[in-house]
Chains A and B, each alone.
Chain A
Amino acid sequence: MTAMIEMRGVSKSFKQTKALDNVSFTAQPGRIVGLIGPNGAGKTTALRAILGLTNYEGELKVLGLDPYSERDRLMQDVCFIADVAVLPGWLRVHQAVRFVAGVHPRFRPDRAEEFLSRTTIKRSSRVRELSKGMITQLHLALVMAIDARLLVLDEPTLGLDIIYRKQFYETLLSDYFDHERTILLTTHQVEEVENILTDLLFIDRGRIVLDSSMEDVAANFVQLTVNPDHVTAARELKPFYEREVFGRTVMFFQNATADALRRLGEARTPSVADLFVAKIKGANA
């Protein structure tokens, strides 16, 4: 099966900073990939390159197309929500549906109507009259009605309250995702998406610091809460990061199995958030 996204040695510099520094990764169909990194790590730049919104050096194919020069063709198969505030205030709900229906060959207005009918959004309202949650619902209704192969979400739930956030991901999984489609998303709320991701991409200072499926994370990474007596012994096994939690030392190991470490303390698979902190801090140490 051909890759959805294929990035090879992609770099992008702004005046002094390297937003992307020789980044390579592939995303396969049927995956939900979380692109996770601290602020200014290059997440948004990576997404923009994938969406054809910025130029870059290196090789990048999305669905076999060059995004920067073939954006309009690419967008027939790609949807994206950049963040909540991008629908223009003057646009009326029925105009939004009509416009997308007119320009997008894969948009199904009846599906959009179905999504909208589950909300309290009035068709004649302007976007500026809607609440933040409603704008996201509208945008989601538009995007869900497009039969796209790749969905890109950049901080889709930023600024939304907890009820909408939960609803958002539930809708995404139940109504949208299937095994031919790929979702690529960035978020600050790692805990929220931990259970839906199939793949992890950590990015820091323009470089990929982790590219792994969730299964491989479970197989390769161990978080060990070390017994105080075994700290030195554990350190000899070369953890890539350690920190103190409530007076106990917690170490992170790569390419290790939980069984081998169990005699030194409590071993388990780290959460995405903990792994993220360990990877970023460990790499910077």
Chain B
Amino acid sequence: MADTATYDKIATTTLGSAASSITFSSIAASWTDLRLVIVPTSTAANDIQMQFNGDTATNYSYTSLRGNGTSAASSAQTTVANISWTLGGQIDSIPHFYTGDVFSYSGSTYKTILMSSQEDDNGSGIVGRTVGLWRNTAAITSIRLFTGVNFLTGTTATLYGIKSA
């Protein structure tokens, strides 16, 4: 089997001032999968959400599994206008850690995303996993991350590309 180095950093953003969204645009179809790594803080507790290619219609759905130190739960959201990392949890002033793997983002199927959330606030918090679906066969060329409040200065978001043989 031949092997090829294949894990590329596509772009990274570190906020120099508060903003309500971060957008990765003009994403080339050069890789097989995309991986997002996000460490946000916010001015107030809120969700962190994602949309593709500027699609604000209700073409998204997701299923989550999470635990908060007391109990575990799962739930699903259907026909919604975005995919949320924080179903049951929230970003806040303490840095949390989120990842998202977007599979076959330039392929012809609907797009499936595996997401993780790690939110610990020293006494409370949630660890979660989510599978999301964007019901669109178009290649993903932009990803918008947003929140109902502002991401704070220092919030980081990095987009990687992973290319298979």
Decide whether A and B assemble into one complex: no
